[in-house]
Amino acid sequence: MLAGELYRPDAELAADHTAAEHWMARYNAAGASSAGELHALLSERFRKVGKAAVIRPPFFCDYGSNISLGDGVFLNFNCVILDVVTVVIGDRTQIGPAVQIYTADHPRDAETRRAGLEFGRPIRIGSDVWIGGGAIILPGVTIGDGALVGAGSVVTRDVASGTIVAGNPARPRAS
């Protein structure tokens, strides 16, 4: 799965996902907790949680164990990260409410999909990025340092450092 190769969800993955669901129930019920308590909960599940990283509940993910957050990362309410492979978010990146980050992908031919096979493509979001509310980041995308993604955008391709993109599909815009 993590290598980006075709896989069929099995009992072990189902158990990992169930554990993540139990963790999400705890995390999402902890909305009134201190920043330190929320950070400790994130650290239980995520691969890496940088200093002063914040995710406002509710938050949803597939596993959590494939997510790495840099220092000072902020995700607003109702974000979704489908982390069947790695998702790395760099330092000081700000992500608006209801942003969806999808690493999960599916074969293009119906026969392979029908066989229950799927795969994932990693997502890397650089440092000092701002992603506006409701944006969707598709599998395999890299967003460079200092980039800005407009609210509601659908990011289908890599975004170069310092670039502003917006729209569906997201395209470069003048600053």
Pick the closest to residue 52 from 70, 67, 72 (CA basis).
72
In the residue annotation, 22 being an active-site residue is answered as: no
Q: Among 17, 22, 39, 106, which one carries the catalytic annotation?
A: 106
> Helix (H, G, I), strand (E, B), or coil: what is residue 159?
strand
> Helix (H, G, I), strand (E, B), or coil: what is residue 41?
helix
Distance of CA 169 to the CA centre of its chain: 18
**Residues labelled as active-site residues:** 106
